[in-house]
Chains A and B, each alone.
Chain A
Amino acid sequence: MKFEDIYTVYWQKVYRICMGYVNDHDWAKDIAQETFISVFKQLSSFRNEASIETWIYRIASNHCLRQMENKGKLPRANFPAEISNEPESDIREKSAFLYTCISELPEIDRIIISLELENVKQKEIASIVGLSETNVRVKIYRIKEKLTQKFNRYER
């Protein structure tokens, strides 16, 4: 796969994973760009040991973790202040709330749930994170439970 094609196919996906991690548009965009710089540099050494998707998500996840070096920069509650009654804005609001909730989870959980929501198979998530498939399944179940609780409290 050519770099240009990878960029087109994966930019949004990588951006969303970064967004789930930091919940800040500019910061997420920066991490996504760092990810693609790494992809570009390492593409020649990619040997199909994993699928290209797994490989890209590993790089993205590790770049997210590297954000610990940006001390003082904390995930931001990017929640819209205005509330309107339009159905479209309701979805946007809920989506923003979801990203806020995810960015408040422990770091590894943020990555796992972002990948799950990005429709990555649990087997692949296991090979991205380096955990067993069972562990991943249990974690996803618990995280979703936590998110559901938060949503129910929010909707009340």
Chain B
Amino acid sequence: MNDNIDFKDLWQTKVTETPDIKEVYYLINKEKKRLLKRLIATNIIYFLTATYIMAIWVYYKPQLLSTKIGISVSILAISIFILAQNQMLPLLKKVNSSMTVSDYVDQFNKVQRKEKFLQTTMMNIYLVLLALGIFIYMYEYVAKTVVSVLLTYGITSGWFAFNWFYLRPKTIKKQQAKTNDLIAKLETFKNQLTDA
């Protein structure tokens, strides 16, 4: 039995070619561009959707108050969704990689739990508000005959039901599986840190 193995010596024998520092600079620029593109893309989508809804307001000049309320509720739904997405950014920024490993694990855990909340609650609020907004908004344009009301509301309800009962649980399940995995992993790290 040999108890005097020089692990440090064996450890230090591992050397590799140091990559050119330009590689790091290149990656830094690439990341900056990627973040900027994402920020622009999110805001453009939001801006275009809002403009589109407002254009309907201006162009079709709705007479009923319900239509205007419908439009406002829809915009509110989209705003809340974007706001929730953006709320993640400052949270992620708080997870500074230069804190101690133990603090880092705690912070990261908090972010993941918050993300879990945002994923489910915010998506529910978003879908309910959007459906509500669209239902109220449509009334003025379809409330001409009973058939048109039944048909339009029927189809739209069907579409929302598909979103609510099929797409929503599927999306949530997928996101939650990932988040739950991360939370479980973070818990093991935490146990490893306390179990000394």
- Which one of B21, B98, B100 has the highest number of Cβ atoms from chain A below 10 Å of its Cβ? B98
- Decide: A7 and B24 in contact? CB cutoff 8 A: yes
> Are the CB atoms of A58 and B98 closer together than 8 Å?
yes
- Also in contact, A108 and B192, with CB within 8 A (given A147-B7, A151-B2, A152-B2): yes
Q: Find chain B residues with CB under 8 A from A111 CB.
A: 101
Question: A25 to chain B: which residues have CB within 8 Å?
Answer: 16
B11 on interface, CB distance cutoff 8 Å: yes
Query: Could you say which of A36, A59, A119 contacts B8, with CB atoms under 8 Å apart?
Result: A119
Q: Which of B97, B103, B182, B185 has the most CB of A within 10 A?
A: B97
Provided the pairs A42-B97, A107-B192, A130-B193 are in contact, do residues A91 and B13 lie with their beta carbons within 8 angstroms? yes
Question: Please, which residue of chain A has its CB at the minimum distance from the CB of B23?
Answer: A33
Interface string of A107-143 (1 = CB under 8 A from B): 1110100100111000000011111100110110000
Interface residues on A, range: 35 or more
Contact: A65 with B105, CB < 8 Å? yes
B102 in the interface (beta carbon within 8 A): yes
Mark each residue of chain A from 59 to 93: 1 if its CB lies under 8 Å from any CB of chain B, else 0: 10111011011010000000000000000000110
Check: B104 CB closer than 8 A to any chain A CB. yes
Q: Residues of B contacting A109 with CB < 8 Å?
A: 192
Return A124 CB to nearest CB of chain B, in Å. 11
CB distance from B179 to the nearest CB of A (A): 11
Question: Contact between B18 and A8 (Cβ–Cβ < 8 Å)?
Answer: yes
Interfacial residues of chain B within 45-87, with CB under 8 A of chain A in the complex: none
- The one of A12, A19, A58, A117 that contacts B99, using a Cβ cutoff of 8 Å: A58
Task: Report the Cα distance A37→B98, complex, angstroms.
Answer: 12
Q: Report whether B1 and A37 are in contact in the complex, using a CB–CB cutoff of 8 Å.
A: no
Contact of A19 among B14, B18, B102 (CB under 8 A): B14
B28 close to A (CB within 8 Å): yes
Distance in angstroms from A97 CB to nearest chain B CB is: 8
* Interface contact B10-A95, CB-CB below 8 Å: yes
A90-110 interface code vs B (CB 8 A; 1 in, 0 out): 011011001100000011110
Among candidates A8, A46, A58, A129, residue contacting B97 with C-beta atoms closer than 8 Å:
A58
Query: Assuming A65-B101, A111-B101, what are 11 further A-B pairs, CB within 8 angstroms?
Result: A7-B18, A7-B24, A25-B16, A58-B99, A69-B182, A98-B11, A108-B101, A108-B189, A119-B8, A128-B100, A151-B5
9 A/B residue pairs, CB under 8 Å, sorted by A: A37-B31, A40-B24, A40-B28, A58-B97, A65-B189, A107-B192, A117-B7, A148-B2, A151-B2
Closest 7 CB pairs of A and B: A130-B102, A130-B100, A135-B196, A117-B11, A108-B192, A62-B97, A68-B185
Q: What residues of chain B have their CB less than 8 Å away from a CB belonging to chain A? A: 1-3, 5, 7-8, 10-16, 18-19, 21, 23-24, 27-28, 31, 96-105, 178, 181-182, 185-186, 188-189, 192-193, 196
